[in-house]
Structure 1
Amino acid sequence: MSYERQNHGGGNRRRRKEPDYDYHDRRQEVLFETPEQKLRTAIIKLGEVDAVEELPRVARHIREQTPVVVPAISEGFRIGVTEQPYKIPYYAALLRLLHDPPPLAEDTEGPSFGKQILEDFWKGFQAFLDKLAWREARLCIHFFAHLTIAKVISAESLISLLQSFTTVLDEFGVSYGRAKKAALCAAEGLMIGGSILKSSSASSVTEIISAIQAYNDTVSSSKWLVQSTMNLRSENSSLENADELLDTALTVLHALDSSDFADSWTSFPQPYSDYADLDPTTSTPFHLPSVLVPPEIIELDGLSTDAGEDAQVKKEEWPEYFQRLFDTTVTPDPTTLSGYSVRSALLDIIDIFEVNRKECVRLLMEYPKWTLPGTFKPKPGAPIKPEEEASGRNWQLESTIIETILGAFFVLPETAHKSIYYISLITELCKLSPSTVGPAVGKSIRRLYNSLADGLDVDVARRFAEWFAVHMSNFGFQWVWKEWIPDLSLTLQHPKRAFMRRAIEFEIRLSYHDRILKTLPPVMQEEDAYVIAVQTPGPDFEYEEPTSPHHDAAQSVLNLLRGRSKADEVIAHLDSLKNTIESSDGSVNVDAIVRSIAVQSLLNIGARSFSHLLNAIERYLPLLRSLASGGIAGTSAGGSAEAKGDILTAAAAFWKRNKQMVNIVFDKLMQYQIVDPTDVVAWTFTNAAGDGHLSGTGPLSLSAFEWDLLKGALDKANGRVMIARRKVAALRKEEDDNRAKAKARGGVDVSSMEVDGDAKPEDDSPAVESPALVTALKAFASLTREQKAALSRTLDGFVSCLAPSPSDLNPNPHASIVITEKAWHNRANWSGDEWNTWETWGWYRQFCRAYSPYLRNYATTLGTVSFAKIESSSDPAAQLLRRTWNIAAGQES
């Protein structure tokens, strides 16, 4: 990472005709550094060539500074430890050198130089803790643990520090995110310094491990819901190709404890181990002060829901499962100390350098420089040293990096960073070293593809298809598609075939239909292969052909729209069309036909581009609102819902060859409040036929397309509530501030007080809310009802899809079958309906875990209403539905 940049700017200066003196003055400002800044930079840049050789020189350079500014040195350590964690052992070694009294020093009284730095460093750590900056606090604990091994910090004080973090696990109602971060701080500090800590107090070490284990045992159910491999049959079965972060940390701790932390000496670089022991007469260990981890900051805005809980959304409330792609001979085993430390270090680099992906990629590829010899295989052609050959590790660096990035990318229910960041990291890695990273990427794609039919979570599969398409777009869409030709014999709804269709659909969005078609083998280009659509994605105007029914009526509407007629004129024309169609054919649904003609004609006007679409919608908003309200067709109270459904049906029919546009148009209709999110949810479940259904007559089931529609509707409803809440909070704060200012201006005036007069009592009447606040509160209440309705309708839809009930018009006979152990082992013989049902179960799980913070706010009413008809059912599907809901709603740990 570069901490200083020199901008010569000669060409720009000449083009801008800037005076030379101004340029030179600015250049001197950039290049000039104070001695303190140079010292800090020297600490940060430690190890750019050879860290071990640089340590004595940097230590000597620090000691030679007069006067020595401890805060500047401490700041350099803080930046290095928290932003370059792979250097932590070497920073510990540097501080160990500074902890010794200087040679030939005449005055040895007072604290040592290293102790002064540690005292100031501790202030920074306390600041991180006060702000609940968990990553920075955890990395500081790594630093303290290494210093404990180096005898700079006392073991007793480090034990006390780690115990302060395990105390968090006993807090009443502690959130999983807070508990997990606190547990990792204690666990990773124990992994590094456990050998010293156990010899100091074995009982304390056991207590720390037991506290983490006890908490981890209380959240076993929630782990089942976020496993990257979807398991509908047993909640307690372990996964071979994925592991949970806290589980692996505990596995490592138990193994270390049983061996008295012997592996701690051989899993981390310890450059300070070669230094002579500290002289106890001149250098006493530093005792870390006692701390108390601050409580969580909960912002209450006074806007509660029917459940009486705060509606703020809290993220990171789920365990983290990391997908594993390779065996332990290729990539590290995270259940071992070496494997856990490697993955943790790589994840920290990925997290810290999110602001600069190119720098992140460079550091990832240089990571072996900071590990023990033999951790990774040497570069091709490089000599193998004896200690590297004897290490017994020799993992593949590129495969390890790709596995770590994809593991973070596939964390459920959502990633820590945007998806494009992880995708771009892999792209930059391939550009940096195509000959070594390319094969690792290819192997990863094949491993993931083969796991699709082995229970890979549906949302992970969707992200996989997205990454595959974007990655192919960056490298000419070149893939060995012929390897997957045998899978065309699988049923159309099989996960592998579904992946092919989705990946190709994403590729077409990033390029052109004809170009992607040419990259496929001839057999995959055939129409009956159902890999790629024969026609180019585009509009499909139902009334385009002269032979189409109602062609003339549609053309008359199109002419009005093209002529930019006023909305009132178009509405009047549609009313006349209604009468015409009724007289010609009384057996059809005239209302639906008129709405379809109007909507498809309007979309046809806006089909050329996004700007055309938005202009058309905005110009004819009165027309769309009239259609949605039933003003043209139908005036009953229930006609509005039917009218909105007809509008959505017409839009979906117009863009049936381009699913992305269906999603976009639905979003715009919600944005302009033509339809509500609940209408989109209801339409989605009414028309859900699952992936690959050609007839649309199968049982209700959801594919990735329907899930995108649901997600768009729910996100719209939730987003509106969040915006309304912020507006109310801002208005309330403004009113409170104005009221406080008015009260301050109207304070008691002593000169005007009457001696004999009676004191006037203060006005205790409630303050009158402003019209703006009253309006905002009404809007918030309305949007909250809309949010609850959308969530409730979604839950009802999943119950109807997955819980067989006599009251359902189209019950799914496979809902109970596909979740059994016997059926899963027989999945090679599954029909398309069974695979669609399995995918629907996956999207139900994703709905519950992704929207868990919102569902918990309405847990009391939503669950009662939606599960009323299956409350007493003994059917396995009904029980699994309820069980999943209980975990997501926080009603079961």
Structure 2
Amino acid sequence: MSYDRQYHRGGGGNRRRQHRDDYDDRRREPYESPADKLKNAIIKFGEVDALEELPLIEKQIREFTPRVVSNLSEAFRIAVTEQPFKIPYYAALLRQLHNSTEDASNDDGSSLGKQILEDFWKGFQGYLDQLAWRETRLCIHFFAHLTVAKLISTESMLTLLESFTAVLEEFGVSQGRAKKAAVCAAEGLMIGGPVLKPSSKERVQEIITAIRTYNDNNANPKWLAQPVFKTNPDGGFGNAYDLLDSVLLSLSAFNDSDFLATKSSFCQPYATYPELDSSLFTPFDLPSVLVAPEIIELDSLSAESGEDSHVKKEEWPEYFLHIFENDITPDLESPEGYVVRMGIRDIVDIFEVNRKEAARLLLEYPKWTKPGTFKPKPGAAPEATEGIGWQLESTIIENILGGYLTLPETSHKPIYYISLITELCKLAPSTVGPAVGKSIRRLYSMLGEGLDVEVARRFAEWFAIHMSNFGFQWVWKEWIPDLSLDIQHPKRAFMRRAVEFEIRLAYHDRILKTLPPEMQAPETQTIGEQAPGPNFEYDDPAKPHHDAAQSVLNLLRGRADAKDVIAQLETLKATLESSDDAVVNTDGLVRSIAIQSLLHIGSRSFSHLLNAIERYLPLLRHVAGGSTEAKADILTACAAFWKHNRHMVAIVFDKLMQYQIVDPTDVVGWTFINRAGIRELSESTGPLSLSAFEWDLLKAALDKANGRVMIARRKVTTLRKEDDDARAKAKASGGADGNAMEVDAEVKPDEASAVDNPALTTALKAFASLTREQKSVLSRTLDGFVSCLAPSPSDPNPNPLSRVVISEEGWNDRAAWEKDQWNAWETWGWYRQFCRAFAPYLRNYSTTLFTVSFAKFEGSTDPAAELLKKTWNVATGQE
């Protein structure tokens, strides 16, 4: 059958409909005016060759009529703040537009370039008022380039930079605000230094001194934010660089060279332009500015009193790992290295919304740098082979990983950094792939050498996800010699976690085949002998209580009513208590049978689990019974059932908290005390300690408690606003003359004033209750860490190893550490992460929590107690 004959019937109408749809689609296309086309041309300027395109875009701007300066300045603002690698060329373009001999001046004698700059300044003032720090900083870069191009006066530029160093002297200035202001001032001075220092050496030195003074007075938070550390506060920290430290060292190097390094670090395409005619041109004076203050919630109340408190996200010093040698990737502490790293970081940050575009721009970054900055591609021009010659792909990967491994949390979603590396590998597999492999090997070599436990956890997660995107291909045999290390050594722990994450992303047998035989052996404990699955303790007929469990299981399979299952459990309990073979803890056994049976019918899939929990919520509430012991038994039964799949343990715990069968406090208490049987090495009888898995359980409980408080707070705020609006409306409706002029007749002013809002009253009570729960969870977690790391001699399970591993002698002897020492070291790491990650919440209760948890150490010289208190004080702002 031919195509025409097959579709002949009704074809005409279909074709007409198709043509009509095509017309509608064309009609819906957005109209692009000539002004929009010019704006887009300015934004896209330089995509091929900026220097060759510059006179063309200049001519296009000059010849366009009617001229709308606001449209032109908006294009410059967008380009400068979203394409910072082009800033020197936009400065050159604006410099050309200041040439009055090629442009008809306004009535006031101002050139087109000056008009654009004046309107650009208005946009900058808007960024400053909104505290849009990234846009503000990039505009300062633009102004600094224009100052070197002699379009802006040095006096006004120095005044602008000084307005940012003034922020550093504000009383109680936050870490984040001070850091951003210091970077704005420092980077502006790096670019504009060649003309600013000859203008006033004293003022330049004062700017540097102001930044250094602030940095020197804020050393303690840096100690806690290190990604590579020793537990001893006075120990070394490895190859990790703080942003402000790097800014200062680079700025000092620029200053020591009288800013000659600026020419070798920044592109200056305007440097060869002839001087502007001083009789026709006067440099632009930037108006004086005041950096807007931080927004403070004036209606926030004290959290210690159980009332509303706004929690602001804590901002920490930013540390970046330097994975490779300085001849491979830029050193953050050198002028050229700092400039390159910040340029790459800007691209990563700005293009978070489009990872494919970010990957493309990163690989094209060398065309926006000085020739010779990176190793040239084969066949490059001779002048490109002269210079520093860093490796582009290794530099990009190191910068992305630096952002991904920032503590206590990343600036963007972690998956963005991971997916960006994947996109880079797809665009340039032959060059980016080896750089990724080298990065993995370098990070792996840091395990056991002080790499933070949270960084190691993220490393394992990235490794697994990256492997899943590329067929799980990795040269595992390189790490076979490390199987001789202690079972809890960070390298061994990394192997187990990475394999566990990989299995979650694929399946057991596939991952097993990717491992060498040495790692497949059960005694290495790298991968389980069988796929993760349920472990129903009462499934075997030969085991005790099989029949009892089957009776409950059959009811659940038959979808019996919850009350019938509860009756069966009561009957079972009575039978067990009256039997000759009496069970010591009958209640615990019945709870275990009930919970494991329920999980068994929900073990087929996640949807089966949710259906089972929701159907039998009355049963779960009956089993929990409001008793702490009962809730602990429930958690133990869940952990025992899913002991071969720890991911499911975390999921079930989360659902039990979500449905309020157990509280976050119960999960925290269970994690520190009742977690035996779910660790990789459950036979261990050593001191209490935490692994990454247990930290995940703690974090989930803490996030749940904190999240509930934040939701309740928003609800209270909304209801208060509605209540205030209703009262104001009712008051206004009474009229100024006393007549009843209600808009809503049912709302009476007097009644609105006399009767409380029931919904608001209920919300306030709920908020107070959740706040108490939050405080309890934080207190319980802190107490748990204190008991693990610095127990008193009277504690039944003392942990002397926690004191050994934090000493300099103990750290130097880590090659001889065994399981318990590494466990103690990891627990210290999770305590640090607890204090870092939850610092905003801990600050709300710092006085109460410190008094309760550290009272027993009053006057103590115990090194573990001292380190616990120092970490706490730094995190809560006491030091």
Q: Would the TM-score normalized by the shorter structure come out above 0.5?
A: yes
Using the TM superposition, give the Cα deviation of residue 673 of structure 1 relative to its aligned residue in structure 2, in angstroms.
0.2
Any conservation in 2 of the 1:307–1:857 contact (CA below 8 Å)? no
Structure 1 match to 2:552: 557
Give yes or no for contact 2:734–2:740 (8 Å, CA) kept in 1.
no
Cα deviation for residue 170 of structure 1 reads 1.1
Given the superposition, is the C-alpha separation of residues 751 and 659 from structure 1 closer, same or farther in structure 2, using an over 3 Å criterion? closer
Q: Is the 8 A contact 1:165 1:293 kept in 2?
A: yes
Q: 1:167 to 1:19 in 2, by over 3 A?
A: same
**Pair 1:603 & 2:591 matched:** no
**TM-score normalized by structure 1?**
0.94
Deviations 1:21-43 (A, max 9, x none): 66446536637422211111111
Partners of 2:473 and 2:218 lie apart in 1 by: 44
The aligned residue for residue 4 of structure 1 is: none
Confirm or deny: 8 A CA contact 1:307 1:860 kept in the other structure.
no
Farther off after superposition, 562-571 or 697-706: 562-571
**Deviation per residue, 1:31-64 (Å, 9 max, x gap):** 7422211111111011011101111111111111
Q: CA deviation at 1:102?
A: 3.6
Checking the alignment, whether the CA contact within 8 Å between 1:357 and 1:425 is kept in structure 2 is yes
What is the 5 A alignment of 1:514-529? 514-529=509-524
Q: Name which of 767, 773, 783 aligns with 2:770.
A: 783
Per-residue deviation, 1:602: 0.4
**Alignment of 1:360 onto 2:358:** yes
User: What's 1:511 paired with?
Assistant: 506
Match of 2:799 among 800, 803, 812: 812
Q: Which residue of 1 aligns with 2:757?
A: 770
Instruction: Give the drift of 1:343.
Output: 0.8
What stretches of structure 2 of length at least 5 have no aligned partner?
1-11, 742-748
**Cα distance, 1:212 vs structure 2:** 0.9
Check if 1:573 corresponds to 2:560.
Answer: no
Match of 2:382 in 1: 385
**Whole-angstrom CA distance in 2 between matches of 1:505 and 1:107:** 70
Letter in 1 for 2:287: P
Rounded to whole Å, the distance in 2 between the matches of 1:597 and 1:308 is: 39
Q: Does the 8 Å contact 1:557/1:570 carry over to 2?
A: yes
Q: Deviations over 1:236-258 (max 9, x none)?
A: x5544110001100011112222
Corresponding letter in the other structure for 1:698: G
The Cα of 1:313 is off from its aligned counterpart by 2.7
Tell me the number of residue pairs that the alignment of Structure 1 and Structure 2 aligns.
859
Verify the 8 A CA contact 1:101 1:108 in the aligned structure 2.
no
Distance 1:657 1:256, change over 3 A: same
Distance in 1 separating the partners of 2:193 and 2:602: 67
Q: Secondary structure at the match of 2:131?
A: coil
In the alignment, which residue of structure 1 is the partner of 2:727? 739
- For the 8 Å contact 1:269–1:372, the answer to whether it is kept is yes
Q: 1:309 to 1:347 in 2, by over 3 A?
A: farther
2:729 aligned partner, one-letter code: K
Partner of 2:288: 290
Q: Matched residues in 1 for 2:690 and 2:336: separation?
A: 42
How far the C-alpha of 1:17 sits from its partner, in A, is 6.5
What are the equivalent positions in structure 2 for 1:459-538 lying under 5 Å apart?
459-538=454-533
* CA distance in 2: counterparts of 1:101 and 1:211, whole angstroms: 40
Matched residues in 2 for 1:18 and 1:162: separation? 63
Please show how residues 228-267 of structure 1 align to structure 2 within 5 Å: 228-235=227-234, 239-267=237-265
Alignment partners' CA distance in 2, 1:507 and 1:655: 18
Indicate the residue corresponding to 2:109 in structure 1.
110
Q: Which runs of 5 or more residues in structure 1 are unaligned?
A: 1-12, 631-639, 754-761
Q: 1:274 aligns with which of 268, 272, 278?
A: 272
| 2:599 counterpart letter in structure 1 | L
* Cα shift at 1:364: 0.3
Q: How does 1:122-521 map to 2 (within 5 A)?
A: 122-235=121-234, 239-306=237-304, 311-379=309-377, 381-386=378-383, 388-391=384-387, 393-521=388-516
Q: Structure 1 CA distance, aligned partners of 2:787 and 2:604?
A: 39
Question: Given that residues 230 and 811 in structure 2 are in contact (C-alpha distance below 8 angstroms), is that contact kept between their aligned partners in structure 1?
Answer: no
How far apart, in 1, do the equivalents of 2:723 and 2:530 lie? 59
CA drift at 1:304:
2.6
Offset of residue 16 of structure 1:
9.8
Is the alpha carbon distance of 1:765 and 1:435 closer, same or farther for their aligned partners in structure 2, counting shifts above 3 Å? closer
Give the CA deviation at 1:390.
3.1
Question: Given the alignment of the two structures, is residue 863 of structure 1 paired with residue 861 of structure 2, yes or no?
Answer: no
Indicate yes or no: 2:119 matched with 1:120: yes
Distance 1:222 1:850 in 2: 13
Letter in 1 for 2:157: L
Q: Distance in 2 between matches of 1:785 and 1:112?
A: 65
CA deviations on 1:662-708 (whole Å, 9 max, x unpaired) are 00000000000000000000000003569643413111000000000
C-alpha contact 2:229 2:237 (8 A) present in aligned 1: no
Q: How big is each residue's C-alpha offset from its partner over 1:802-859, in whole Å with a ceiling of 9 and x where there is no partner?
A: 0031232211120100001111111010011000000000000000000000000000
Percent of aligned positions that are identical: 68
Runs of 4+ with deviation above 6 angstroms: 13-17, 307-310, 750-753, 762-766
Structure 1 residues 880 and 767: CA distance shift in structure 2, 3 A: farther
- SS of the residue aligned with 2:408? coil
Question: Secondary structure of 1:787's match?
Answer: helix
For the Cα contact (< 8 Å) 1:493–1:692, is it kept in 2? no
Amino acid at match of 1:448: L
Change (3 A) 1:542 1:132: same
8 Å contact kept, 1:427–1:471: yes
User: C-alpha offsets along residues 309-332 of structure 1, whole Å, 9 cap, x if unaligned?
Assistant: 973232251001001110110011
CA contact (8 A) 1:163 1:208 kept: yes
- Assess if the C-alpha contact under 8 Å between 1:51 and 1:90 holds in 2: yes
Whole-angstrom CA distance in 2 between matches of 1:17 and 1:617: 55
**2:306–2:768 contact (8 Å) kept in structure 1:** no
Q: Tell me if structure 2 keeps the 8 A contact 1:142–1:192.
A: yes
Counterpart of 1:46, as a letter, is: F
Tell me whether 766-775 or 846-855 shows the greater mean CA deviation.
766-775
| Structural mapping, 1:672-711, within 5 Å | 672-688=659-675, 692-711=680-699
Instruction: Report the AA paired with residue 823 of structure 1.
Output: G
Compared with structure 1, are the counterparts of its residues 51 and 193 closer, same or farther at alpha carbon in structure 2 (3 Å cutoff)?
A: same
* Residues in 1 aligned to 2:159 and 2:205: alpha-carbon distance in whole angstroms: 13
> Contact 1:688 / 1:701 at 8 angstroms: preserved in 2?
no
**1:134–1:181 contact (8 Å) kept in structure 2:** yes
Report SS of the residue matched to 1:322.
Answer: strand
Counterpart-to-counterpart distance in 1, 2:16 and 2:245: 63
1:763 Cα offset (Å): 7.8
CA distance in 1, matches of 2:588, 2:106: 95
In structure 2, do the counterparts of structure 1 residues 864 and 750 end up closer, same or farther at CA, with 3 Å as the change threshold?
A: closer
What's the counterpart of residue 9 of structure 1? none
Contact 1:452 1:495 in 2 (8 A): yes
| Displacement of 1:767 | 5.4
Q: What's the CA shift for 1:195?
A: 1.5
Aligned residue for 2:466, secondary structure, equals helix
Letter in 2 for 1:383: A
1:714 is aligned to 702
The reply to whether residue 624 of structure 1 matches residue 623 of structure 2 is: no
Q: How does 1:818-833 map to 2 (within 5 A)?
A: 818-833=805-820
State the SS of the aligned residue for 1:454.
coil
Q: Does the Cα contact within 8 Å between 2:237 and 2:450 map onto a contact in 1?
A: no
The question of whether the paired residues in 2 share the 8 Å contact of 1:688 and 1:702 is answered with no
Deviates more, 1:690-699 or 1:57-66: 690-699
TM-score (norm 2): 0.95
